[in-house]
A and B are shown apart, each in its own frame.
Chain A
Amino acid sequence: MKSEKLRIALKNRKFKVGVAIIVFFALFALIGPLVTPFDQLGYYPVKLHKMLLLKRSTPNLPPMSHDVIYAPGREINVTHYLGTDSFGRDLYAQVVYGLRNSLIVGLIGGGIATFVGLTIGFLAGYRGGWTDEILMMITNIMLVIPTMALLIIIAAYMSTRGVIIESIIIGLTAWPWTARAIRAQTLSLKNREFVHLAKLAGLSDLKIIIGEILPNITSYVFMVFILQFGGAILAAIGLDFIGLGPTRGISLGIILQNAVLWNAINLGYWWWAIPPGLIIALFITGLYFVNIGLEEVFNPRLRRE
């Protein structure tokens, strides 16, 4: 059965395109930093005795420009694949490290959101009664409060923020729709015979949920995770853009914020303002493609080919 689904999935064009896009950008984030001598903020680090000098290039160079960096006693030839910003910092390095951070936020934030959503959805759906009422009340309240507003107010009061903290607060605010969806799935499964059988066998609630219900919705959970993964990346890029991103380090949202604050659009420096967002838009399109591909695999009614 499993291999049958996999075979269908590998024939699905959307699934294949999506996987290709995701793998491409994942490799880019992994290997990309290795081919640049610049640090994550786009400076060229030069060691001088025990000091570390951070050198800049010429500002506002378009993509694929060659430039010379003058270090004490030597001249270094460098290529700026994506040009430089108005401070002479290399943009390729910023983008590739920013993408790495975006993927980390997506994995951790999306993972936490999926996990919390699963736990609450299972509990509410399986236990029913008061547990359900209370958990769903909390879920409905969280669902109406705009996640972004909540993120803003939490992040604004944190004096130091890192990528991990950002992922955690995104994960802890993004779970409500998942909880609702998982609850609905659990409700439809909990009166099935195999669940009753497990109950008669005296299995605990936890064992029934993990051993009987979860295996029946793994594909669904996987698709939920993909959506949460993309959602966390988009939430982070928005948060970074309005100035609540990591206080140290770089992210795609921070690059875009700098571009807008320093007038890159008016001045025509497209290489500063366009690539960071384009990468994210393409990557998330890839995630969606994997998702619709999987949906078509598991739900033949949607297949159109």
Chain B
Amino acid sequence: MPPQIKQDLNRSGWESTDFPSVCENCLPTNPYVKMLKEDYGAECKLCTRPFTVFSWSGEGRSHGRKKRTNICLTCARLKNACQCCIMDLQFGLPIVIRDKALELIAPGPQSEINREYFAQNNERAIEEGRAGVEEYEKTDEKARELLRRLAQSKPYFRKGREFDEEGNPVHGSPSSSGSALGGNAAVGAGVGGPGPIRSRDSRAAAAVGARPGGGRKGPLGTNAPPPGPKDWLPPADQTLMSLFVTGIEDDLPEYKIRDHFKAFGKIKSLVVSHMTHCAFVNYEMREAAERAAAECKGRAVIAGCPLRVRWSQPKAIGTMDKEERSRMLRDGRSAFSGAKRATGQQKTIEGGNVQAGQTSTSSQELADLTVAPPPGGDDVQYASLAGN
């Protein structure tokens, strides 16, 4: 034990302990751990007060490097974290994530002296059994709440009703209204794989809280024709190796688009602007670009997001005004509005047992439609986001 210096007012917050509070992962497998203890060896990384530092050599994994405690015992108790790796003791989460997601305790003051004061007060409270414990009694409840909330969550941005892969609107039946009206959560997070395709729809948008008819049928509305051969036939200019993709939603990450388009050949660069809802895929070889255009047939679905693909000369896409941006978003959907009409038409025609050439070709196009491959094993699957 070091000499007690509690009498010294300036050093009253200095902590001397006999044993660290460390999680299982930080300790070596051998239960006989040799630790070095140094009183007031360093300042706590959270409250900046001196504390007793323990260090030991983590075996194997750390390759001869020493592990040591980084935060003082008071802070560790207050945050319910490991002194070494600063991870939550219950779920093994980083404490930042736990505190934000479970909304357990406020992060505390930011300035140095306030932090010290905060820690001092809490230390006293813990000694008297007033604080530090009760918040974490609620962890279970909060964890359940979080799971429930995410299970019936709506996407974080406004979006419309989804369409299935044939372009038929998925009707939210009253029984399954919970998920259907809010838009499929899988689609919302962009992790749902192929699955339903979203579309703007005034009814569905109204269901998720949008104003009805909010600028959807304007002069720039969805009067872009459905993709035709001119969209995917290779242009005469042989130096052109870029495809222009529109309709990118805010939650569609860049790497998913890359994964989809790199199947056709090596990508030189992929420029995605989420703000303007469009992207450029620049291939290294002309053949790859031609293959991609031919396979896509003017449209693609990535993580439920309908996209329109066409040839274009590369240009700056980050500089668009508001009108143009919303046009880009609607443009992606226009690729599928045509498909929807075609299938609807085909249904009626099939009823009458007539085969029109035009409809059969468009249904053929739909069959050829390239859809992003289902997410692989490395893709995190949130059970709550898998629908229902």
Q: Decide if A and B are genuine partners.
A: no
Q: Which residues of A contact B (CB under 8 A)?
A: none
